[in-house]
Amino acid sequence: MDDALCPLDGRYQKHTEILRPFFSEEALMRARLQVEIEWFLALAALPEIRELPRVKRKDEQKLRQVLERFRSAQVQEVKVLERRTNHDVKAVEYYLKQKIEHIAGLRKQKEFVHFALTSEDVNNLAYGILVHEALKTVIRPQCKSVIADVTRMAKRWAKIEMLSLTHGQPATPTTVGKEFMVFADRLQRQFDQLKVFRMQGKFGGAVGNYAAHRAAYPAVQWEKVGKQFIRSLGLTPLAHTTQINPHDDIAELSHLMTRVNTILMDLSRDMWMYISRGVFTQKIVAGEVGSSTMPHKVNPIDFENAEGNLGLSSALFMHFAEKLPISRLQRDLSDSTVQRNIGIAFGYHTLAIASLKKGMGKIALNRGLIAKELMDHPEVRAEAIQIVLRKHGVEGAYEKLKKLTRGEKLTHEQINAFIETLPIPEKEKKGLKN
């Protein structure tokens, strides 16, 4: 869509449409409807609520079909109701009541729709359901895929030695494979936490104490019922709350996603540097243009795009973590408008993953450059030499190598000649030369 306000729904739509089933307005309406239907059925299963008999199987099927048949046309029905009520959750309640009017066995019990609930009871559970589904379907598989890609590269180039740079200066040699494994291990640690993360659920009425519930049915153990209901939706019950879920769950997830983004940004920048240095080359794609004026350019734009979108994603996640857990007294509404943007944070993350994977798929190792760099910097052998000298108790080992190498341009022959003068066993000399 060329007229979209947000690039996630315009230029980059093909990369982010996978998130629509979880973070669109239609998805949120459907999840709210799911919560309302499941609560109605849960109430009907309580023997203490005689005014709402257990729902017959055929009527339960009809009720569940209301959710199954919820599509774009039904969304518009809800939107019509919302324009009248100016309340999105109340509109879903009225929509469900209208549908129950057509179920003969439930028509007289329609006032048990949204029974003793506040809108936040519905909203926080709906968001929890959607976030869980998004993590399961999109976010965790994407993270797992990146780890697999990086691990494959680590194994492919496990024994390829290359010059390392610390502070931007030549340092002790490393291997290409090990450097990739650094990122694989870091991502795996966050992925392990992402696998066990669970959203929480609040379900206690207007101020979290089941007051209205008890007024109607004092014999029901409402705390127990609420916890069972929350668990039935796959969420972790909160014992004590105000009107709202305190959103510590979203804050925890946001911090976790920010750490994932930070690691991926570090990887993107390192890949950019390796390409700039010539360690990696990029495969040429026929028809592509690198620069509008410099025909020779093959720019590392995929890693640059990943870096930019990871930054946008993290900026939103950090705002969620800082803002959402703060609510004035028993509740204010400032969390509502912020929560609607959760999908955007995941959208920029998903877009960054697509760019990063594309970039990783285009690189090739420049073995000639790597070998030349090592040969051009014999001074990096100094660390190993001085450590072996320390091993044999040679006094001033570090200082000897500092005097020889610091700021000097040496050859391997000069290094080897220096090794010959050292008071260490011949076997050690041979090893250092090799």
pLDDT digits (tens, 9 = 90+) for 319-378: 999 999 999 999 999 999 999 999 999 999 999 999 999 999 999 999 999 999 999 999
| End-of-domain residue from the set 80, 115, 150 | 115
Instruction: State whether 429 and 325 are in the same domain.
Output: no
263 Cβ neighbours under 8 A, 6+ residues apart? 183, 186, 187, 190
pLDDT computed for residue 284 by the predictor: 74
Spatial separation of the C-alpha atoms in residues 89 and 243, rounded to whole Å = 15
DSSP state letters, 392-427: TT-TTHHHHHHHHHTT----HHHHHHHHHTSSS-HH
Instruction: State whether 161 and 293 are in the same domain.
Output: yes
> Could you identify the residue written with the tokens 């549908």?
99
Instruction: Based on the residue annotation, tell me whether 87 is a catalytic residue of this protein.
Output: no
| End-of-domain residue from the set 346, 366, 386 | 366
pLDDT computed for residue 157 by the predictor: 97
Catalytic residue among 145, 232, 276, 291: 291
Among 158, 202, 193, CA closest to 178: 158
Beta bridge partners of 47: none
Instruction: State whether 197 and 177 are in the same domain.
Output: yes
Instruction: State whether 250 and 300 are in the same domain.
Output: yes
Instruction: State whether 263 and 337 are in the same domain.
Output: yes
In 137-210, where does DSSP find H-type helix? 140-156, 176-196
Which residues of the chain register pLDDT less than 70? 1, 286-297
**Looking at the domain assignment, is residue 67 inside a domain?**
yes
371-374 — which CB contacts under 8 Å span 24+ positions?
373/162, 373/163, 373/170, 374/161, 374/162, 374/163, 374/173
Instruction: State whether 410 and 344 are in the same domain.
Output: no
390 Cβ neighbours under 8 A, 6+ residues apart? 397, 398
Among 300, 286, 284, 290, CA closest to 360: 300
pLDDT computed for residue 1 by the predictor: 65
Instruction: State whether 91 and 134 are in the same domain.
Output: no
Residue 329 DSSP symbol: T
Instruction: State whether 347 and 405 are in the same domain.
Output: no
pTM score, whole prediction: 0.93
3-state secondary structure 286-302: CCCCCCCCCCCCCCCHH
Q: Give φ, ψ of 245 to 5 degrees.
A: -60, 130
Burial of 360 (0-12, 13-18, 19+ CB in 10 A): buried
**Looking at the domain assignment, is residue 253 inside a domain?**
yes
- Give me the domain span that covers residue 399: 377-433
For residue 154, give the CATH number of its domain. Answer: 1.20.200.10
Instruction: State whether 322 and 420 are in the same domain.
Output: no
- Give the rounded distance of the alpha carbon of 372 from its chain centre: 39
343 Cβ neighbours under 8 A, 6+ residues apart? 19, 22, 23, 24
Instruction: Based on the residue annotation, tell me whether 132 is a catalytic residue of this protein.
Output: no
CB 38 within 8 Å of CB 233:
yes
**Looking at the domain assignment, is residue 84 inside a domain?**
yes
pLDDT computed for residue 291 by the predictor: 54
* 375-to-174, 285, 338, 368, 378 alpha-carbon distances in Å: 14, 32, 55, 11, 6
Instruction: State whether 295 and 348 are in the same domain.
Output: yes
Terminal Cα distance for the chain, rounded = 61
pLDDT computed for residue 63 by the predictor: 97
For residue 413, give the CATH number of its domain. Answer: 1.10.40.30
Q: Give φ, ψ of 165 to 5 degrees.
A: -130, 125
Pairing of strands 200-201, 236-237: parallel
**Looking at the domain assignment, is residue 176 inside a domain?**
yes
Spatial separation of the C-alpha atoms in residues 339 and 207, rounded to whole Å = 20
Instruction: State whether 189 and 269 are in the same domain.
Output: yes
Q: Which two tokens stand for residue 74?
A: 């039904």
Domain count, the chain: 3
Report the amino acid identity of residue 277. R
Q: What does the chain come to in residues?
A: 434
HSE, side-chain direction, 13 A CA sphere, residue 358: 16
pLDDT computed for residue 292 by the predictor: 56
Report the amino acid identity of residue 150. V
Instruction: State whether 307 and 421 are in the same domain.
Output: no
**Looking at the domain assignment, is residue 149 inside a domain?**
yes
pLDDT computed for residue 44 by the predictor: 97
**Looking at the domain assignment, is residue 125 inside a domain?**
no
> Could you identify the residue written with the tokens 């990369």?
15
